[in-house]
Homo-oligomer: A and B are copies of this chain.
Amino acid sequence: MKDQTMYIPTFRDVLDAHERIRPYIHRTPVLTSTYLNGLTGAELFFKCESFQKAGAFKARGASNAVFGLTEEQAAKGVATHSSGNHGLSLSYAAGRRGIPCTVVMPRTAPQAKKDAVKGYGGRVVECEPSTSSREAVFAEVVAETGAEFVHPYNDPRVIAGQGTCSRELNEQVEGLDAVIAPIGGGGMISGTCLTLSNVAPNIKIYAAEPKQADDAARSFKAGHIIADDAPETVADGLKVPLKELTWHFVRNHVTDILTAEEDEIVDAMKTIWKRMKIVMEPSSAVPLATILRNPNVFKGKRVGVIITGGNVDLDKLPWMKG
């Protein structure tokens, strides 16, 4: 596992990943909006990973990890800790291969998230909502099952899988000037850097981050990883910090990291729902929020915008009261 973590994936790994996962993922559509083009002065191309299997781009990386295992490894299954889309996606991918999947989640995580993992055939093991408990429980799971750990983002197999998204986008839209995606741990941005630096090195890559969880933006300025201490943001998929592998890609290939305030994120989300008629997560609205905040960066440009996922609680939308 140590070797896996330190290996820096290449574009060859993205191509291999794409062949490997093709039967298990959607080639998601790219949507446009005349209204949003008018609002921003840019030409926006939305790559809708909200329509991806399991509802998020994470199905790409998880499928690559699962279907790249040897038979011997696969028999022992996979495991991860995640209360978000990665746990769901790993459970989806393991279900497609027919191997066991264990997801360690805080007992305080929403029941709907636990049910969703189980819905794809995964097993949920609960821990206390603390890092020490999570690590202890996770170590037990691995000791007991021998399962392969698939980290949500700091894993070359996962990054190579995420890199297939911008490969499709670059095939679907000609002459892009820039691509922008949200940044949390940096898996999607790293995959985007890996692919575009190889196939279209002139496309600028921007990362978008909530101001209230701007560890990546501050790391980018400082030149080394700074981790936030328990940030709070409506974009709950973006709270996690960069790790060494994703930092490698961010540092070397990202043009800038832009941030947006909470109310700007919610406004952008509601605008996308209203005008584009797609259900997507608060995290996925951060790029549009930053484009609206920095119109001069994007004006007149052809910009790919990655809508990373669509898993929201329809009973707790951020513009609902109470």
Mark the stretch among A66-74, A122-130, A175-183, A276-284 that contacts chain B.
Answer: A276-284
A39 within 8 A of B: no
Q: Given A29-B29, A320-B320, decide whether A277 and B314 contact each other with a Cβ distance below 8 A.
A: no
| 23 A-B residue pairings within 8 Å (CB atoms) | A29-B29, A31-B51, A50-B277, A51-B276, A51-B277, A55-B277, A270-B314, A273-B279, A273-B314, A274-B279, A274-B314, A277-B278, A277-B279, A277-B280, A277-B310, A278-B278, A278-B279, A279-B279, A314-B317, A314-B319, A315-B319, A317-B317, A320-B320
Query: Which interface class (under 10, 10 to 19, 20 to 34, 35 or more) fits A?
Result: 10 to 19
The 3 closest A-B pairs by CB, nearest first: A277-B310, A277-B279, A50-B277
Q: How far is the CB of A28 from chain B (nearest CB, A)?
A: 10
Q: How far is the CB of A97 from chain B (nearest CB, A)?
A: 16
Q: How far is the CB of A198 from chain B (nearest CB, A)?
A: 30
Count the copies. Answer: 2
**Cα–Cα distance between A277 and B49 once the two chains are bound (Å):** 10
Interface members, chain A 276-322 (any B CB < 8 Å): 276-280, 310, 314-315, 317, 319-320
- Chain B residues contacting A310 (CB-CB under 8 Å) are 277
* 6 more CB-based (< 8 A) A-B contacts, given A55-B277, A277-B279: A29-B29, A51-B276, A51-B277, A277-B278, A317-B317, A320-B320
- Chain B residues contacting A279 (CB-CB under 8 Å) are 273-274, 277-279
Q: How far is the CB of A24 from chain B (nearest CB, A)?
A: 11
**Cα–Cα distance between A5 and B187 once the two chains are bound (Å):** 59
Q: How far is the CB of A215 from chain B (nearest CB, A)?
A: 28
A270 to chain B: closest residue by CB: B314
A274 to chain B: closest residue by CB: B314
**Cα–Cα distance between A276 and B50 once the two chains are bound (Å):** 9
Q: How far is the CB of A136 from chain B (nearest CB, A)?
A: 34
Interface members, chain A 101-125 (any B CB < 8 Å): none
**Cα–Cα distance between A228 and B320 once the two chains are bound (Å):** 34
- Chain B residues contacting A319 (CB-CB under 8 Å) are 314-315
A29-58: contact bitstring with B at CB < 8 Å (1 yes, 0 no)?
101000000000000000000110001000
- Chain B residues contacting A315 (CB-CB under 8 Å) are 319
A29 to chain B: closest residue by CB: B29
Q: How far is the CB of A165 from chain B (nearest CB, A)?
A: 16
A50 to chain B: closest residue by CB: B277
**Cα–Cα distance between A280 and B31 once the two chains are bound (Å):** 16
Q: How far is the CB of A38 from chain B (nearest CB, A)?
A: 11
A51 to chain B: closest residue by CB: B277
**Cα–Cα distance between A277 and B277 once the two chains are bound (Å):** 9
- Chain B residues contacting A31 (CB-CB under 8 Å) are 51
- Chain B residues contacting A317 (CB-CB under 8 Å) are 314, 317
A35 to chain B: closest residue by CB: B119
**Cα–Cα distance between A84 and B315 once the two chains are bound (Å):** 26
